[in-house]
Amino acid sequence: MARAKEASSSSSRKSSPIRDTPEGDDNNESSSLSSPSSTTSPLTPPEDDSSPSSSCLLPTPDVAESSEREPESGPLRTKSASGSSRANSLDAKDKEKRKRSRVTPEQLVHLERYFAMDRSPTAARRKEISETLGMQERQTQIWFQNRRAKAKLQDGKSKHRGGVGAGVGGLVDLPPDVPPELSAGFDSNLHNLVHENEPISIIPCTELSVGSWKRIATAVNRHDLVAYVCETRRCLTWFIYSSGYGFKMEIPFEIVIDTKFTNASPGTGLASFTLSRPPTFYLETSPPPGMDPNQRMWKRCGDWTEDMQATKVLRHDLVGSAVQLAHVLRNLSIHSAGSEISLHHPSYRPTPSSSPSPGMHPHHHPQQHHHQPQGYVQSGHDYITSGSSDYYSHERQRSYSTGAVLMNGNAGGGPSSNPPPSNIGSPGYTHISPIPSPNNPNSLQYSDYPPPTTHELDSSSASKRDRSYRPDQDYRNGLSLGGGVPTTTTRRLSYDDPSPSSGSAHSTYSSPSPPVSHQSYQSSSSAYNHWGTTTATGMGMASLPLPSLIHGNGVGGGVAQRLYDLHPNPPSMHRPQLR
Amino acid sequence: MARAKEASSSSSRKSSPIRDTPEGDDNNESSSLSSPSSTTSPLTPPEDDSSPSSSCLLPTPDVAESSEREPESGPLRTKSASGSSRANSLDAKDKEKRKRSRVTPEQLVHLERYFAMDRSPTAARRKEISETLGMQERQTQIWFQNRRAKAKLQDGKSKHRGGVGAGVGGLVDLPPDVPPELSAGFDSNLHNLVHENEPISIIPCTELSVGSWKRIATAVNRHDLVAYVCETRRCLTWFIYSSGYGFKMEIPFEIVIDTKFTNASPGTGLASFTLSRPPTFYLETSPPPGMDPNQRMWKRCGDWTEDMQATKVLRHDLVGSAVQLAHVLRNLSIHSAGSEISLHHPSYRPTPSSSPSPGMHPHHHPQQHHHQPQGYVQSGHDYITSGSSDYYSHERQRSYSTGAVLMNGNAGGGPSSNPPPSNIGSPGYTHISPIPSPNNPNSLQYSDYPPPTTHELDSSSASKRDRSYRPDQDYRNGLSLGGGVPTTTTRRLSYDDPSPSSGSAHSTYSSPSPPVSHQSYQSSSSAYNHWGTTTATGMGMASLPLPSLIHGNGVGGGVAQRLYDLHPNPPSMHRPQLR
DNA sequence: TTATAATATAATAAC
DNA sequence: GTTATTATATTATT
- Answer whether A43 touches B (CB < 8 Å): yes
DSSP B205: E
Kindly determine whether the C-beta of residue B115 is less than 7 Å away from any atom of nucleic acid strand C: no
Burial letters for B390-407: b for 16+ Cβ neighbours within 10 Å, e otherwise?
A: bbebbbebbbbbbbbbbb
Determine contact, residues A245/A277, Cβ cutoff 8 Å. Answer: no
Distance B23 CA to D13 C1' (A): 39
* Chain B residues touching residue A540 (CB < 8 angstroms): 66
At residue B569 the predicted structure's pLDDT band, cuts being 50, 70 and 90, is very low
Task: Tell me which residue of B389, B392, B350 sits closest to B478, measured CA to CA.
Answer: B392
Question: Which one of B50, B60, B79 makes the best mutation probe of the A interface by having the most chain A beta carbons within 10 Å?
Answer: B60
**Between residues B161 and B38, the one the model is more confident about:** B161
Q: Which nucleotides of D are covered by protein (CB under 7 A)?
A: 1-14
Residue A160 has pLDDT above 80, yes or no: no
Per-residue pLDDT, averaged over A234-254, amounts to: 88
Q: Is the dihedral of CA A191, A192, A194, A197 positive or negative?
A: positive
Distance B117 CA to D9 C1' (A): 28
Residue B157 has pLDDT above 50, yes or no: yes
Q: What is the pLDDT of residues A218-228, one digit of tens each?
A: 665 567 788 99
Distance of CA A415 to the CA centre of its chain: 22
Q: In what order do the strands lie in the sheet with A225-230?
A: A183-184, A201-203, A225-230, A235-242, A245-252, A280-285, A297-301
Close Cβ partners of B221 (under 8 Å, ≥ 6 residues apart): B117, B118, B119, B169, B171, B470, B473, B547
| pLDDT value, residue A340 | 52
Give me chain B's average pLDDT, please. Answer: 52
Task: Tell me which residue of A516, A419, A534 sits closest to A215, measured CA to CA.
Answer: A516
Q: Which nucleotides of C are covered by protein (CB under 7 A)?
A: 4-15
Percent of chain B's residues with pLDDT above 70? 31
Q: What is the pLDDT of residues B225-283, one digit of tens each?
A: 889 988 889 999 999 987 667 899 999 999 999 999 998 888 888 999 999 999 999 98
Could you give the CA distance from residue B322 to residue A156 in angstroms, rounded to a whole number?
63
3-state SS of A248-259? EEEEEHHHEEEE
Question: Strand pairing of B341-342 and B256-265?
Answer: parallel
At residue A310 the predicted structure's pLDDT band, cuts being 50, 70 and 90, is very high
**Between residues B470 and B39, the one the model is more confident about:** B470
**Between residues A281 and B458, the one the model is more confident about:** A281
Residue B130 has pLDDT above 80, yes or no: yes
DSSP H helices, B19-122, are: 46-49, 52-57, 88-94, 105-117
Close Cβ partners of A8 (under 8 Å, ≥ 6 residues apart): none
Chain B residue whose CA is closest to A35: B105
Kindly determine whether the C-beta of residue B148 is less than 7 Å away from any atom of nucleic acid strand D: yes
Per-residue pLDDT, averaged over B279-289, amounts to: 78
| pLDDT value, residue A158 | 53
Most confident range, picked from A500-504, B95-99, B312-316, B376-380: B312-316
Q: How far apart are the first and last CA of chain B?
A: 22
Determine contact, residues A204/A541, Cβ cutoff 8 Å. Answer: yes
Residue A306 has pLDDT above 90, yes or no: no
Report the largest interatomic distance among the alpha carbons of chain B, rounded to a whole angstrom.
Answer: 97
DSSP B389: G
- Answer whether B40 touches A (CB < 8 Å): no
Measure Cα distances from B190 to A563, B142, B203 in Å. 55, 22, 11
Per-residue pLDDT, averaged over B122-142, amounts to: 84
Question: Which one of B31, B38, B67 makes the best mutation probe of the A interface by having the most chain A beta carbons within 10 Å?
Answer: B67
| pLDDT value, residue A125 | 80
Determine contact, residues B191/B514, Cβ cutoff 8 Å. Answer: no
Q: What is the pLDDT of residues B366-423, one digit of tens each?
A: 343 444 333 333 333 333 333 333 333 333 433 333 333 333 333 333 333 332 223 3
For residue A451, the distance in angstroms to the closest alpha carbon of chain B comes to 12
| pLDDT value, residue B187 | 58
A64 and B31 in contact by Cβ < 8 A? no
Residue B573 has pLDDT above 50, yes or no: no
**DSSP-assigned beta bridge partners for residue B320:** B205, B269
Determine contact, residues A25/A64, Cβ cutoff 8 Å. Answer: yes
Q: What is the pLDDT of residues A495-544, one digit of tens each?
A: 333 333 333 333 333 222 223 333 333 333 333 333 333 333 333 333 32
Most confident range, picked from A274-283, A291-300, A512-521: A274-283
| pLDDT value, residue B235 | 92
Determine contact, residues B522/B389, Cβ cutoff 8 Å. Answer: no
For residue B370, the distance in angstroms to the closest alpha carbon of chain A comes to 41
* Axis crossing angle, helix A123-133 with helix A2-11, rounded to the nearest 10: 70
- Answer whether A207 touches B (CB < 8 Å): no
At residue B321 the predicted structure's pLDDT band, cuts being 50, 70 and 90, is confident
- Answer whether A469 touches B (CB < 8 Å): yes
| pLDDT value, residue B191 | 73
Kindly determine whether the C-beta of residue B396 is less than 7 Å away from any atom of nucleic acid strand C: no
DSSP B495: S
Residue A406 has pLDDT above 60, yes or no: no
Give me chain A's average pLDDT, please. Answer: 52
Residue A209 has pLDDT above 80, yes or no: yes
Residue A313 has pLDDT above 80, yes or no: yes
Percent of chain A's residues with pLDDT above 70? 31
Secondary structure class of B297 (helix, strand, coil): strand
At residue A263 the predicted structure's pLDDT band, cuts being 50, 70 and 90, is confident
| pLDDT value, residue A307 | 87
Per-residue pLDDT, averaged over B422-435, amounts to: 31
* DSSP code string of A333-376: HHTS----EE-----SS--TTPPPPTT------SGGGGG-----
Q: Could you give the angle at the alpha carbon of B118 between the alpha carbons of B115 and B124, nearest 5°? A: 100
Distance B100 CA to D7 C1' (A): 9
For residue B354, the distance in angstroms to the closest alpha carbon of chain A comes to 40
| pLDDT value, residue B241 | 82
Could you give the CA distance from residue B546 to residue B473 in angstroms, rounded to a whole number?
12
Distance of CA B245 to the CA centre of its chain: 12
Measure Cα distances from A56 to A53, A79, A83, B315, B401 in Å. 5, 10, 11, 33, 39
A392 and B83 in contact by Cβ < 8 A? yes
- Answer whether A483 touches B (CB < 8 Å): no
Could you give the CA distance from residue A298 to residue A321 in angstroms, rounded to a whole number?
26
* Chain B residues touching residue A456 (CB < 8 angstroms): 72
Region of poorest pLDDT, from A104-118, A253-267, A349-363, B18-32: B18-32
At residue A189 the predicted structure's pLDDT band, cuts being 50, 70 and 90, is low
Close Cβ partners of B517 (under 8 Å, ≥ 6 residues apart): B209, B212, B213, B214, B216, B402, B403, B404, B503, B504, B566, B567
Could you give the CA distance from residue B571 to residue A334 in angstroms, rounded to a whole number?
91
DSSP B86: B
| pLDDT value, residue B314 | 95
Kindly determine whether the C-beta of residue A30 is less than 7 Å away from any atom of nucleic acid strand D: yes
- Answer whether B181 touches A (CB < 8 Å): yes
Residue B23 has pLDDT above 50, yes or no: no
- Answer whether B339 touches A (CB < 8 Å): no
Helix, strand, coil percentages (3-state) for chain A, rounded to 5, are 35, 15, 55
Per-residue pLDDT, averaged over B93-98, amounts to: 42
| pLDDT value, residue B333 | 74
- Answer whether B39 touches A (CB < 8 Å): no
**Between residues A534 and B463, the one the model is more confident about:** B463
**Backbone region of residue A19 per phi and psi (left: phi > 0; alpha: psi in -120 to 50; beta: other values):** beta
| pLDDT value, residue B155 | 67
Could you give the CA distance from residue A81 to residue A66 in angstroms, rounded to a whole number?
9
B43 and A297 in contact by Cβ < 8 A? yes
Q: What is the pLDDT of residues A166-182, one digit of tens each?
A: 333 333 333 333 333 34
| pLDDT value, residue A155 | 66
Chain A residue whose CA is closest to B60: A165
Q: What are phi and psi of B392, to 5 degrees?
A: -100, -10
Task: Tell me which residue of A550, A541, A573, A558 sits closest to A401, measured CA to CA.
Answer: A541
- Answer whether A321 touches B (CB < 8 Å): yes
Secondary structure class of B63 (helix, strand, coil): coil
Kindly determine whether the C-beta of residue B69 is less than 7 Å away from any atom of nucleic acid strand D: no
**Between residues B562 and B153, the one the model is more confident about:** B153
Determine contact, residues A205/A319, Cβ cutoff 8 Å. Answer: yes
Q: Which of residues 438-467 of A touch strand C (CB under 7 A)?
A: 463, 466-467
Q: Which of A25, A43, A183 sits opposite B62 (nearest CB)?
A: A183
